Structure 1
Amino acid sequence: MSTPDTAELLADAGSATLLPDTVDHVAVARLYGEPLFALPQDLYIPPDALEVFLEAFEGPLDLLLYLIRKQNFNILDIPMAAVTRQYLSYVDEIRSRNLELAAEYLLMAAMLIEIKSRMLLPPRKTAEGQEPEDPRAELVRRLLEYERIKLAAARLAEVPQFGRDFLKAQVYVEQALTPRFPDVALADLQGAWADILKRARLVQHHKISREELSVREHMSIVLKKLQGRRFAPFEDLFDPARGVPVLVVTLIALLELAKETLVEVTQAEAYAPIYVRLAFTPAA
């Protein structure tokens, strides 16, 4: 039986290094896609780099409540020996890795041991007809209160939140190029009408007469005054010298024209002078 020569073994080893895909099954890792057959000598891996935490607790009460609920213990009748033993095993585990984190848990461990010790002692004497105080009562109260707060926080976390579950929709609407005059407020129209009545009383004459006034006729008069004018001041459409009855009919005629969209009553801004113009409706 013949044995392979040393030169042949070296040649085979050299060809193996040239073809890493053929020996990829023995590579310890891959670096940027290339197989790595030996760990670097200067590679430093921290002791806690590969730690895996299966459960994350927010504090000692959270851990204690987890141990009780996981094993279906009655929270009003906690088996202190079993719970304390499991709690201390977890504290020993985190104390070897993070001493600062374990300090808070050690305080709760001392409290559990104290409660267990008080349960082993004879109960204190109380008044007639009263039951001795349970050493676990304060711990049970804190656990129930913590559980209620934790469940409420979980329900609040399920509520949709802005930025996490939805975003605000923003729509850009391009403004029209044609300027839109603000609508005339009723109070401004009443103020302008009161000024016209005040001027009419200053120039009125005591004359008793009966005159038939037509709204349609004054509608035509208003339209004639607006012909050829882009805007006409509101007070220019009234003639105070003709008396209050004519002013009233003229106002009614102006309102009828505005109702039939034959004229437009506008103003540049709030509290600005009121103007009237003809309303031009483009042909269909």
Structure 2
Amino acid sequence: MSQPPSSPPSPPVHGLSPADGLSLPVALSPDMPAVIDQVALARLYGEPLFAMPHDLYIPPDALQVFLEAFEGPLDLLLYLIRKQNFNILDIPMAAVTRQYLTYVDEIRATNLELAAEYLLMAAMLIEIKSRMLLPPKKVAEGQEAEDPRAELVRRLLEYEQIKLAAHKLNEMPQFGRDFLRAQVYVEQSLQPRFPDVHVVDLQDAWRDIVKRAKLVQHHVISREELSVREHMSIVLRKLQGRKFLEFEDLFDPTRGMPVLVVTFIALLELSKEGLLEVTQAEAFAPIYVRLAYTPA
């Protein structure tokens, strides 16, 4: 039997061939476009569009894009003056006012609230132009007539300086925008580090000792000369050979308030000179005192 003639192989799609191991359709749909490699411009109801339809109608107000490029009336005026290289000390009011009103007419059609501030500046420009058309006022001999544009020039120069300063500040590196602060914890020692004793905790401990001293005090009037250096030596001798000593054990309430005060001052002096350390195991825990030493 004679076999029917085989149909010619279909062209590869997007550079693929049957040898690549991909299954290809036997026959393309008659609705598919003849050009396969062309990129679709859009999809309409799921079907690709490879060319714009000739009967496509887009209403004029279907899409509006408004670019707010100016931050205010002064910014717009400064842009018009600098773009055309006008002398800011001798502004051609007619040309600048005409261009300014053209822009205001554009934004009035889209955003009336935004145009209110620009309309106020437009009225100011028209007033300045009308004052320039009038004869100048008579002034005393030797004085120059006032320029109606002087106030506007002053505001423009101040605005330009502030704008340049703001631009320079914005170019400076900012935390959180241009860089982040690196935080790395480095363990320098395996020895336990006790939390520092706050001043408030030390004050509370001192008040407790004062209260205890008042319970055993005697009303004896006497004069006693006490030496801070001597009590510093006493405190150091008490700490010799001991790792820790509780803060309250350094004071003897039976000896009276003057001795307690001098002992407390001696304790502060020793801590200031770095001869002893005041530590605490945790918050609200008892306060301990020990000799300061430098580990090997």
Question: Per the shorter chain, which TM-score range?
Answer: 0.5 to 0.7
Q: Which has the higher helix share?
A: 1
Aligned equivalent of 1:146, options 159, 162, 180? 159
The yes-or-no answer on 1:272 pairing with 2:272 is no
CA distance in 2, matches of 1:15, 1:139: 71
- Counterpart for residue 18 of structure 1: 32
Q: Secondary structure at the match of 2:142?
A: coil
Aligned equivalent of 2:63, options 22, 25, 49? 49
Shift of the 118–38 alpha-carbon distance from structure 1 to 2, 3 Å rule, reads: same
CA distance in 1, matches of 2:130, 2:295: 98
**TM-score (normalised: structure 1):** 0.55
CA distance in 1, matches of 2:107, 2:195: 72
Structure 2 contact 88–153 (Cα < 8 Å) conserved? yes
Report deviation, 1:274.
3.5
Once the two structures are superposed, residues 63-85 of structure 1 have per-residue CA deviations (whole angstroms, 9 ceiling, x without a partner) of: 00000000000000000011011
Shift of the 168–189 alpha-carbon distance from structure 1 to 2, 3 Å rule, reads: farther
Q: Secondary structure at the match of 1:18?
A: coil
Structure 1 contact 181–266 (Cα < 8 Å) conserved? no
CA distance in 1, matches of 2:236, 2:52: 104
Which consecutive unaligned segments of at least 5 residues does structure 1 have?
Answer: 1-13, 200-224, 234-264
CA distance in 2, matches of 1:180, 1:152: 48
Which consecutive unaligned segments of at least 5 residues does structure 2 have?
Answer: 1-27, 197-227, 246-274, 281-286
Q: Secondary structure at the match of 1:171?
A: coil
Shift of the 129–74 alpha-carbon distance from structure 1 to 2, 3 Å rule, reads: same
CA distance in 2, matches of 1:276, 1:150: 58
Shift of the 35–63 alpha-carbon distance from structure 1 to 2, 3 Å rule, reads: same
Shift of the 38–158 alpha-carbon distance from structure 1 to 2, 3 Å rule, reads: closer
The yes-or-no answer on 1:122 pairing with 2:132 is no
Structure 1 contact 181–268 (Cα < 8 Å) conserved? no
* Identity value in percent: 64
RMSD: 4.4
The yes-or-no answer on 1:74 pairing with 2:87 is yes
Structure 1 contact 267–274 (Cα < 8 Å) conserved? yes
The yes-or-no answer on 1:94 pairing with 2:110 is no
Q: How does 1:254-269 map to 2 (within 5 A)?
A: 269=279
CA distance in 1, matches of 2:159, 2:295: 73
Larger radius of gyration: 1
The yes-or-no answer on 1:173 pairing with 2:186 is yes
Report deviation, 1:30.
3.7
Once the two structures are superposed, residues 40-78 of structure 1 have per-residue CA deviations (whole angstroms, 9 ceiling, x without a partner) of: xxx99893734253x700000000000000000000000
